[in-house]
Structure 1
């Protein structure tokens, strides 16, 4: 009976499992060793110098922050709109959440597709 067990599919499956389990162990040990080893200092990162940021508030209340990189041949513009529950007025809790849910439904005069296209035409995603 023991000889039959050794020759059966159970032994083959057991051996396959054993080999698969132990084949991944060296990789797991190498990965743990990699995680424990701190990265070497990168001289370029250590010399990172950021340009000064100049901030001003326009008469309409818009805050503009600029940073100049002399010699750069490109301009990058980013707009950050303070919106959402963190900036909602305390007397109107959930205003941002309700607005976000309702935008996708449209209005009596404007379909949801029209509202979505208008928002996208303004650069929103």
Structure 2
């Protein structure tokens, strides 16, 4: 049995990260409860999807594609132009939870990722409420 040590490997590598990003943006684009989150993004979501894919690849322990292309993520600084409050944070997290469920990420891994995603999304908040 292969011993996988990174989240990237445990969830299925590049293919699963790609499916997760595809599903995340498809849900954000189609589900009315994510309307405020969707409004913060450009009409064409491909660039956002690609950046999330590159970021998550490295964040999950795989190839550090975002850093290679753009340098340090500086997540809070990159998100400062967007008004992010509790509503936007919660929509982002809920959308990611649905995407993780739909692509079949193991529930135990999903629970740990949810904690990390929530903490990161909460750190992005830059407005009251």
Greater strand fraction, Structure 1 or Structure 2: 1
Rg larger for: 1
- Using the size of structure 2 for normalisation, the TM-score is 0.25
Greater helix fraction, Structure 1 or Structure 2: 2
- Using the size of structure 1 for normalisation, the TM-score is 0.25
